Structure 1
Amino acid sequence: MFNCISLNSRSFFPFVWDNLRMISTSTVGLCKQQQQQQKYRPWLNIEQAKVKPSSSIEKNRQDREDLAAAYRGLAYYGLSEGVCNHLTSRTPAKNGEGEVMLIVKYGLHWTEVTASSLLGINIENGSVLEGDGEPETSAVEIHSHILKTNPSIQSVFHTHPPHATSLACLEDPTLHMIHQNSTRFFEDVAYDCGYDGLATTGNEGARIAQQLHGKSVMFMGNHGVLVLGKSTAEAFDKTYYLERAAELQVLAMSTGKKMSKLPDNLAKFVNQQIENDSRFLVAHFEAMKRIMKHTYQGDFTS
């Protein structure tokens, strides 16, 4: 008898009809909600911002393109220095055996860097496994030790940005919590005032890695800054905003007036607000990659 009932007729079992309509409406609403969540889901955290590569070759290529874009992007912001300073990234080796550290080969200007021009370095012994050319010795010394002792870190950026480096040249290089940009680095900055020359002795890399004490930013006395990121996008964004925070502090100090420092509880609160939403840092890096495709001669993805 039940198979003969037409659901198009509301004369039979009105309550069944109404319940079916409620279920349908609820399902449509849920689907719309899920679609909205899916729309924004790639922005929930750094790892979800990328399509996961299906092989070590694809991941290697993706990381090469990201790092090349970071080199060019920081040059675009005026944060490069000649053919010096270094940005590195951990990635699977092309042959699928272990990992390599991507780095620019010695002598290239940052605006010349492309995905294919980056070298793949053995993180353990510094030998070149991928690409033609040689890396700068001090870069391998510092970056390889940091990557070896920080397995959750993908990218390490070492730069000499003018304002952040200016603070690093002071007797007290403290980055004070005086602005929203500053709070991004609340309780996440290490200070190393033990500069003793170029890192070519074989000991400086291990010493610097130890001095980080779990922080993602280091002011290197009389030298520059070091930034660690769980992705290239994060390291890029942190490097940019560290320089912006330092610039504001240098300008505020230049007035000769007393700086207005945020209380720790407020600085911590703003820091957590920023840390809990990674959309902006991914959007920043993706925007820069779009700009880089049309700014310097030659596509960085080549």
Structure 2
Amino acid sequence: MSVTQLADTRRPNLPFYEERCDLAAAFRWTARLNMHEAVANHFSLAVDDGGTQILINPNLMHFSRIKASDLLLIDANDPDTMKRPDAPDPTAWGLHGAIHRNVPHARCVMHVHSVHATVLASLADSRLPAIDQNSAMFHGRQVVDAHYGGLAFEEEGERCSRLFSDPKAKVMVMGNHGVMIIGETVGDTFDRLYYFERACETYIKALWTGQPIRHLSDEIAERVATQMDTYPVASAKRHLEELKAILDEEGSNFRN
């Protein structure tokens, strides 16, 4: 029996179990890539057709320890959410609750303060330019929030959610803050998060050299972005499946 088959035999009786496993694996791998920040930052996933019943990480738990059973199931439309004894972090509620209420195409939402994306968010011009294939993926598909207003409590979360009005934009560079990635599934969103951070790293290191940067033309950048939009979705799904397989082989308890 394979490691994955063994994992399947110990499934606890949890609602949305597969979705929980996907999200738990994404937390674990984000920590492994050092894209997390202490016990802050949050991921969420809509599990109902309306998009407001969401799984989200518990308050003040390190990404590297999160298991499927740890994830909270909350209602983004429930005004009493923060009165729960297991209430999520107030900024998680403010930011993710607002996005899931106001942005129907944002099924999965990932917010981190990863190093290179946050460096980009700290520059006067926080747009990621198309200088290689990875960065070209995001051409015309990112929005910059240039009006950071403090911790993302409810009012700030509502303001940020309005910046995702263009369904084509799947990345928000949160000026002076970090990055917000949205997508249709955990695999889709994590894959985008991974490549955005890699693209930011390339750009920041290119700036370090002090040498002139060769920018791609808008025409070529848009061609690459469009090609990636229509690239088989199995690639992002497979990325997450491979990460889960590695965790299983290592004996991780993320599925518990």
Aligned partner of residue 156 in structure 1, secondary structure: strand
Shift of residue 250 of structure 1? 0.3
Q: Which residue of 1 aligns with 2:94?
A: 141
Change (3 A) 1:243 1:159: same
1:222 aligns with 2:204: no
Q: 1:203 aligns with which of 149, 155, 160?
A: 155
For residues 163-215 of structure 1, what are the alpha-carbon distances to aligned partners after superposition, in whole Å with 9 as ceiling and x for unaligned? 11001001111100001001111101100111121122x31111001122322
Q: Which residue of 1 aligns with 2:109?
A: 156
Q: Which residue of 2 aligns with 1:81?
A: 37
Aligned partner of residue 236 in structure 2, secondary structure: helix
Aligned partner of residue 116 in structure 1, secondary structure: helix
User: Residue type of the partner of 1:125?
Assistant: D
Shift of residue 268 of structure 1? 1.2
User: Residue type of the partner of 1:104?
Assistant: N
Q: Which residue of 2 aligns with 1:232?
A: 186
1:181–1:241 CA contact under 8 A, matched in 2:
yes
User: Residue type of the partner of 1:183?
Assistant: A
Shift of residue 75 of structure 1? 0.9
2:52–2:77 CA contact under 8 A, matched in 1:
no
Q: Which residue of 1 aligns with 2:238?
A: 283
Q: Distance in 1 between matches of 2:170 and 2:230?
A: 16
Q: Which residue of 1 aligns with 2:72?
A: 119
TM-score, normalised to structure 2's length?
A: 0.87
Q: Distance in 2 between matches of 1:90 and 1:246?
A: 27
1:107 aligns with 2:60: yes
User: Residue type of the partner of 1:230?
Assistant: E
Q: Which residue of 2 aligns with 1:44?
A: none
For residues 30-84 of structure 1, what are the alpha-carbon distances to aligned partners after superposition, in whole Å with 9 as ceiling and x for unaligned? xxxxxxxxxxxxxxxxxxxxxxxxxxx9872221111111111111111111000
Show structure 1 runs of 5+ residues with no match: 1-56
For residues 218-258 of structure 1, what are the alpha-carbon distances to aligned partners after superposition, in whole Å with 9 as ceiling and x for unaligned? 01111000000111111100000000000000010111111
1:192 aligns with 2:145: yes
Q: Which residue of 1 aligns with 2:218?
A: 264
Shift of residue 153 of structure 1? 2.2
Q: Distance in 1 between matches of 2:221 and 2:142?
A: 14
Residues matched between the structures, number: 240
1:60–1:92 CA contact under 8 A, matched in 2:
no
Aligned partner of residue 203 in structure 1, secondary structure: helix
2:51–2:104 CA contact under 8 A, matched in 1:
no
Shift of residue 132 of structure 1? 6.9
For residues 95-122 of structure 1, what are the alpha-carbon distances to aligned partners after superposition, in whole Å with 9 as ceiling and x for unaligned? xx98521111112110111111000111
Aligned partner of residue 125 in structure 2, secondary structure: coil
Q: Which residue of 2 aligns with 1:66?
A: 22
User: Residue type of the partner of 1:204?
Assistant: E
1:119–1:128 CA contact under 8 A, matched in 2:
no
Q: Distance in 2 between matches of 1:99 and 1:219?
A: 23
Q: Which residue of 2 aligns with 1:34?
A: none
For residues 267-302 of structure 1, what are the alpha-carbon distances to aligned partners after superposition, in whole Å with 9 as ceiling and x for unaligned? 11111222212232111111111122244x742111
Aligned partner of residue 69 in structure 2, secondary structure: coil
Shift of residue 127 of structure 1? 4.3
Matched-pair identity in %: 33
Shift of residue 133 of structure 1? 2.2
TM-score, normalised to structure 1's length?
A: 0.75
User: Residue type of the partner of 1:254?
Assistant: W
User: Residue type of the partner of 2:40?
Assistant: C
Q: Which residue of 2 aligns with 1:28?
A: none
Larger Rg: 1
